[in-house]
Chain A
Amino acid sequence: MIRPDAPVLLDIRDLQAAVEDQPILKGVNLTIRAGEIHAVMGRNGSGKSTLSKVLAGHPAYTVTGGRVLYKGENLLEFDPEQRACIGLFLGFQYPVEIPGVSNLEFLRVATNARRAEQGFEELDTFAFEDLVRERLAVVQMDPAFLERSVNEGFSGGEKKRNEILQMALLEPLVAILDETDSGLDIDALRIVAGGVNQLASPDNATLLITHYQRLLDLITPDHVHVMAAGRILRSGGKELALELERTGYDWVDQELDRLAAGGQEAGRTPVEVG
């Protein structure tokens, strides 16, 4: 839902980031307003996951330039845990397993951390059980997964559902979902997409990172962006994704060559189409 007067939740300007001195993000620009759904697409290795992890504050990446405002505040000054508490959520492309830590207890501690920031009272074990059972329905997940260690031995698809369960509990303002659709079977894809749609509201925003139109058939994006070589090369409406489906990414090389010839500056301004 595009409303030009909706408040800006996330404002990324010329964001550059490196891992061990190797630049990966080379000037990303992106503005996300409340109520919007954005999709970021692009070839493997173009920097999509890096962008998501830099936003969430992963210590392996160093921000080397640019800025990110979250509701007007400098997001990059916050610790990863603070970013989560103030409403930023990252659904991981590869959720890690954490043996020995009970999934239920983990979800409860995480939910209470977010609630404390929102000024809500802490949920005890019983109150939390009620809440988690209600939210399990969003992803149609078996309560048995609560009794296990975080993601341990979960199948690829089960891990992704667990990510959306976390999102449902944390009620983020900005949710970044990194390839949440990959690894899901056809039914699970519908369930997860249904969950994301259910959680979307005029007050929050979603950034979907995906390779496939089939997800965007289920969750209609307001904006589609194509990343290449660490920046957003093109932005458009939902039809950009359909166009990519037909043309593939061949045009990206020409565009990058043209940019290289035209100097750095040009590349930092996304080319608007459609």
Chain B
Amino acid sequence: MSTATVGDLVSQPYKYGFVTEIETEKIAKGLSEDVVRLISAKKEEPAFLLEFRLRAFRQWQQMQEPDWAALGFPAIDYQDIIYYAAPKQQQKKTSLDEVDPKLLETFDKLGIPLSEQKRLSNVAVDAVFDSVSIATTFKEQLAEHGVIFCSISEAVKEHPELIERYLGTVVPSNDNYFAALNSAVFSDGSFVFIPKGVECPMELSTYFRINSGDTGQFERTLIVAEEGASVSYLEGCTAPMFDTNQLHAAVVELVVLDDASIKYSTVQNWYAGDENGVGGIYNFVTKRGQCRGDRSKISWTQVETGSAITWKYPSCVLQGADSVGEFYSVALTNNKQQADTGTKMIHVGPRSRSTIVSKGISAGHSSNSYRGLVQIGPKAVGARNYSQCDSMLIGDQAAANTYPYIRCQQPDAAIEHEASTCRISEDQLFYLQSRGIGFEEAVSMMVSGFCRDVFNQLPMEFAAEADKLLALKLEGSVG
């Protein structure tokens, strides 16, 4: 007789938990105005950026950590965190050959080969290790199309006018507690600029790796698509297993002009902590896109499987007439993981449309909440929203919640909301098993069936990977 329970299946060891032994330059723990100045100085930033950081820092000091999410965790000591850590290497790498082989090896091990021979042929990668970007592939090829893809630190040096024009315009530095913190101390991240009329010739992707145990990660990503431009971008993340918690507070801003579109996909696999909830990443992320132009489009797809705590609401501000916002999400929590995630669709422009498809899977003692806001402003004549929020429970100790908020100031708008909760039952599994399908495959079939609508939205290269990742998370010790 099979003795495995579904609970055993969803708990499997984390594959990316190793630490890379590498000399790093770190500043002392703690946060003050001096630390903010030090970070800016280390990065040789222009005055406008130091000003931006200092303003954010002062705002942050006046703010309170939000407590409205359905999350419980011990207070974070912001003075016990290191705000800047970088692997020591020659100050500027002009080619991959100069990158520390240990770092290349690390990314190899994570399945993201960067070297010319091994890298993916149709995906450009920006690899971020702790606070700094260590390499970006295919930069020259992209430049031929006028596409800028580089680390944000580099963009600050080489395209300061673009940074000054767009940084902080979608997520103002005082937007929320974590956005203010990020604006004060952000380290690195990616910058993407797609000029007018250009369809980005390949997938762009940033891979974030946290390596230090006592360093916070505060990355900042900015993507701008000018009139008629389009790009598909993917973000991946992993971290070592530590028995302490690491703070990750990122900000992502997207700007889309007339007829342009950005498709932003995330496969988040930060370390989630052990089965008793010890260790893991605290993931407090502000992601927002602004559809500034008419007929512009932003599509967020996320597969959230890691982190001890996830606080994340990728949002769309639909300003342009006929603009489109989409949010497709799969969030899997297990053991003592907690996720409070969802989206905000702010309809401003006439006939703006949004679609929300959220799939939450909770196993073990985890808690998984969907929180979403659909707001239709007075000028959004003919605006439409469709939301679908489904929860799947595995075992009987897990919790799922749905918090949909609707604010509508436009009588003409059409808003549709559907929600469902299901549980994988012993009888369903037995049914599949009694047809010769193994226990693990049975669970995985049901879970991937449940997630299909979202996986279909991922770029093709990554859809199979996401399916594998979930299957991996669901893999275990069947007798």
By a beta-carbon cutoff of 8 Å, the part of chain A in contact with chain B is 56-60, 76, 79-81, 83-85, 90, 92, 95-102, 105-106, 109-110, 113-114, 117, 149-150, 166, 170
Q: Is the CB of A98 within 8 A of B446?
A: yes
Contact B427 A101 (CB under 8 A): no
Nearest A residue to B431, CB-CB: A96
19 additional A-B pairs beyond A76-B1, A110-B435, beta carbons within 8 Å, are: A56-B434, A57-B2, A59-B1, A60-B426, A79-B2, A80-B430, A81-B433, A81-B434, A81-B435, A81-B436, A81-B437, A84-B433, A96-B425, A96-B428, A100-B448, A109-B445, A113-B435, A150-B431, A170-B435
Rounded to whole angstroms, the CA-CA distance of A61 and B220 in the bound complex is 55
Q: What's the least CB distance linking A121 to chain B, in Å?
A: 16
B441, closest chain A residue (CB): A109
Q: Which residues of B contact A109 (CB under 8 A)?
A: 437, 441, 445
Task: Please name all residues of chain A whose beta carbon is closer than 8 Å to the beta carbon of B435 when the two chains form the complex.
Answer: 81, 84, 106, 110, 113, 166, 170
Q: Does B445 contact A84, Cβ atoms closer than 8 Å?
A: no
B109 contacts the other chain (CB 8 A): no
Q: Which residues of B contact A92 (CB under 8 A)?
A: 431
Q: How far is the CA of A84 from the CA of B437 in the complex (A)?
A: 9
User: Would you call B66 an interface residue if the criterion is a C-beta within 8 Å of the partner chain's C-beta atoms?
Assistant: no
Question: Which of B432, B435, B436, B445: most chain A CB closer than 10 A?
Answer: B436
A256 to B217, CA, bound (A): 74
The smallest beta-carbon distance between A95 and chain B, in angstroms, is: 7
Q: List 5 A-B contacts (CB under 8 A).
A: A80-B433, A100-B448, A106-B445, A109-B441, A110-B432
Check A100–B427 contact: CB distance below 8 A: no
Check B446 against A101 for contact (C-beta < 8 Å).
Answer: yes
Contact B1 A113 (CB under 8 A): no
Residues of A within 8 A of B427 (CB): 96
The answer to whether B434 touches A100, judged by C-beta atoms less than 8 angstroms apart, is: no
Instruction: Find B437's partner among A58, A83, A110, A149 (CB 8 Å cutoff).
Output: A110
Show the binding face of B for A, using Cβ within 8 Å.
1-2, 422, 425-428, 430-439, 441, 445-446, 448-450, 452, 479
B3's closest neighbor in chain A, by CB? A59
A79 adjacent to B433 (CB under 8 Å): yes
Q: Report Cα–Cα, A98/B432, bound state, in Å.
A: 9
Q: How far is the CB of B34 from chain A (nearest CB, A)?
A: 54
CB <8 Å contact, A149 and B2: no
Q: Is the CB of A90 within 8 A of B1?
A: no
Q: Are A100 and B446 in contact (CB under 8 A)?
A: yes
Nearest A residue to B430, CB-CB? A58
Most buried by A among B427, B433, B434, B450: B434
For B430, list chain A residues within 8 Å (CB).
56, 58-59, 80
Min C-beta distance of A11 to chain B, whole Å:
20
A99 touches B422 (CB 8 A): yes
Q: How far is the CA of A57 from the CA of B434 in the complex (A)?
A: 8
Does more than half of chain B's interface fall in helix, strand or loop, or is it mixed? helix
Check B1 against A79 for contact (C-beta < 8 Å).
Answer: yes
Nearest B-chain residue to A117, judged by Cβ: B436
Question: Shortest CB–CB separation between residue A131 and chain B, in angstroms?
Answer: 15
- Do A90 and B434 touch across chains, with their CB atoms under 8 A apart? yes
Contact between A100 and B450, CB atoms less than 8 A apart: yes
- Contact (Cβ within 8 A) B438 A101: no
What residues of B have a CB within 8 angstroms of the CB of A99 in the complex? 422, 449-450
CB distance from B97 to the nearest CB of A (A): 45
By a CB distance below 8 angstroms, the chain A residues around B2 are 57, 59, 79-80
B359 to chain A minimum Cβ distance, whole angstroms, is 10
A170 and B449 within 8 A (CB): no
Contact A102 B449 (CB under 8 A): yes
Closest A residue to B433 using CB positions:
A80
With known contacts A60-B426, A113-B436, A100–B431 Cβ distance under 8 A: no
Chain B residues with CB below 8 A from A96, complex form: 425, 427-428, 431
With A and B bound together, what is the CA distance between A58 and B2 in angstroms?
10
Given A60-B426, A96-B427, A98-B428: A84 touches B434 (CB 8 Å cut-off): yes
Top 10 A-B pairs, shortest CB-CB distance: A100-B449, A113-B436, A84-B436, A110-B435, A80-B433, A101-B449, A85-B436, A81-B433, A100-B450, A79-B2
Closest to B479 in A: A79
**Cβ-defined contact, B449 with A149, below 8 A:** yes
Residues of A within 8 A of B436 (CB): 81, 84-85, 110, 113-114, 117, 170
A81 to chain B, nearest CB (A): 5
Minimum Cβ distance to chain B for residue A210 (Å): 20
Give complex CA distance A117, B438 in Å: 13
Residues of B contacting A110 with CB < 8 Å?
A: 432, 435-437
B344 to chain A, nearest CB (A): 27
Chain B residues closer than 8 Å to A85, beta-carbon distance: 436
Contact yes or no, B428 A113, CB < 8 A: no
B103 shortest CB reach to chain A, Å: 41
- Point out the residues of chain B lying under 8 angstroms from A58, CB to CB: 430
B329 to chain A, nearest CB (A): 16
Least CB distance from A180 to B in Å reads 15
In the assembled complex, the Cα of A238 lies from the Cα of B433 at a distance in Å of 33
Q: Which residue of B lies closest to A87 (CB)?
A: B436
What is the distance, in angstroms, from B469's C-beta to the closest C-beta of chain A? Answer: 18
Contact of B438 among A81, A105, A149 (CB under 8 A): A81
Among A95, A98, A149: residue with most chain B CB under 10 A? A98
Inter-chain CA distance A119–B9, complex, in Å, is: 29
- Measured CB to CB, the nearest residue on chain A to B449 is A100
**Bound-state Cα–Cα, A170 to B436, Å:** 9
A98: min CB distance to chain B, Å: 5
B449 touches A95 (CB 8 A): no
**Residue of B with least CB distance to A94:** B427
Q: Are B431 and A98 in contact (CB under 8 A)?
A: yes
Closest B residue to A77 by CB, please name it. B1
Inter-chain CA distance A57–B479, complex, in Å, is 14
Q: Which residues from A are CB-within-8-Å of B446?
A: 98, 100-101
Q: Which of B422, B428, B432, B452 has the most CB of A within 10 A?
A: B432
Within the complex, the shortest CB–CB distance from A148 to chain B, in Å, comes to 12
Determine the chain B residues whose CB is within 8 A of the CB of A170 once the complex forms: 435-436
| A96→B430 CA distance, assembly (Å) | 10
**CA of A76 to CA of B441 in the docked complex: distance in angstroms?**
22
Q: Are B434 and A83 in contact (CB under 8 A)?
A: yes
Q: Please give, as numbers and ranges, the residues of chain A lying within 8 Å of B452 by CB-CB distance.
A: 100
